[in-house]
Chain A
């Protein structure tokens, strides 16, 4: 009681970030600019692989927001991947260009997430996970009933006739890059907001967050909607990059496996984790692609090992060693007499 009323002397400094935030911000800008320039200097095969990677990165970041922050383990995020793809297909069939349809598909998927949340939020943890899976299966079955959008076999995506293949692959790549940048930027700003504070509190201790008056239910609803929109955008990019929408492919549970494993291996509960996880995932996929099912077996084993022995993933290990944050979303508490300094956090502050 008395400790709280006493003035702190000397005062403790609180800062949003370490000084390196400017440098990482500049670095991120340069990376995005270089990535945006790539279609002029590399073959479309390379940008094709990068499009896959950007889709996985978007999805993994969304899954990280769900599982890593809001504590919602969804095994049914493929529902939104599929919905995003089908939104693009339906709009394209009505003469709207797929690139223009992309943001509409994202918003549409987010809107659909609202009633779905109403259904699945009645269940907890494991039951929630499987319920989202059943929902995804049900949505696929319902969509398969409409033969006007291809029924059970799907159909090619119209709207790109007369476009040169190189131009098409460049457009696809830029669309994927834009979706990823908006997703990551959105998550970054979201986590820096008041909602982010609530989410970080839920991540660290749900009971304590509730008893401190955090509106856990509302925060989870918002995260579910944002993740629905993000995965919908990922699905829309998928449809544009494949030029074909097939229900069993876009609604495959494999999407959730990929996004979950990339997020888990990289490190849940940080923005940096899914980025590292996606890079590792793409490297594994490219090297093991000729061994069929092996890469998913290895990915599953690595995810199990990480979940058991390195719970904060690869980024967690980096963070423990160096104490750096590329995306500062928390607060740093500096003990008296110490100033924020050092690129690699020479003096590590108390993290809040």
Chain B
């Protein structure tokens, strides 16, 4: 189970590249509205496809693994599970890897160039479609890793992706600041703490996080880390 990422991550990365080069690039060429419609349509198709073939039952993939359930004690009051610590370490490692890739590698430079000005990058000889594909492959691979971590630590059903995870991820990005890798990590931590603290007041894990998201949107729309005002 735990090692399935060796297969899942590359497969998802390849799927990301193919989807980007075909469907999503086709939508991007036609404008923002088309891109939103196509990706929203895709999410509906995937969600209901999962519903059709795997039923609405809640499932988990971590059952039986000692690593998932075991924990160690910190002092006499605090219990920390091994799995959350490992997931956090993996998240930091992935961010370090992405940071290094974007700042130092050839494709990282290309991605930044295309993101800044795709026409100028194209004039300088960059094949922006291929670069978008690479970026999508990276994103899909990272998301696959996140999905595996979620599946190990929590129960899930076909709507888990859109009902909670997408909205959490979005809230984390907005809290941290758009376009900042480490801001996203900070946003994720802030969201997680807000959810945990909010649980004491609202008896659910979600409300506190969303309220912090709304507060950030009102008080600091550019996010916690970003200095630039968002346009």
Contact = CB atoms under 8 A, between A and B. Distances in A.
Contacts of B33: 67, 71, 73, 268
Given A119-B217, A307-B27, A134 B41 contact: no
Choose among B26, B171, B217 the residue with the greatest number of A CB atoms under 10 Å from its CB.
B217
A162 B180 CA distance: 61
B162 interface: yes
B110 interface: no
A110 B42 CA distance: 30
B210 interface: yes
Nearest to A296: B48
Interface string B188-231: 00000000000000101011001101100110010000000011
A137 B206 contact: yes
Interface SS of B by simple majority = helix
Interface stretch (A120-128, A278-286, A322-330): A120-128
A334 to B, nearest CB: 31
A194 B41 CA distance: 33
A125 B210 contact: no
B167 interface: yes
B34 A311 contact: yes
A142 B37 CA distance: 29
For the residues of A in contact with B, the DSSP-based class is: helix
Contacts of B32: 125-126
B38 A134 contact: no
Interface residues of B, number: 41
A231 B36 CA distance: 21
A303 B211 contact: no
B44 A122 contact: no
A51 interface: no
A268 B33 CA distance: 10
Interface string B17-55: 000000100110010111111101110110011011000
Interface string A255-286: 00100110010001000000000000000000
A-B pairs, top 3 by smallest CB distance, nearest first, are A293-B48, A300-B44, A300-B45
Interface of A: 67, 71, 73, 75, 119, 122-127, 129-131, 133-135, 137-138, 141-142, 145, 253, 257, 260-261, 264, 268, 292-294, 296-297, 299-301, 303-304, 307-308, 311
7 contacts: A131-B174, A133-B166, A134-B213, A135-B214, A145-B202, A260-B37, A304-B38
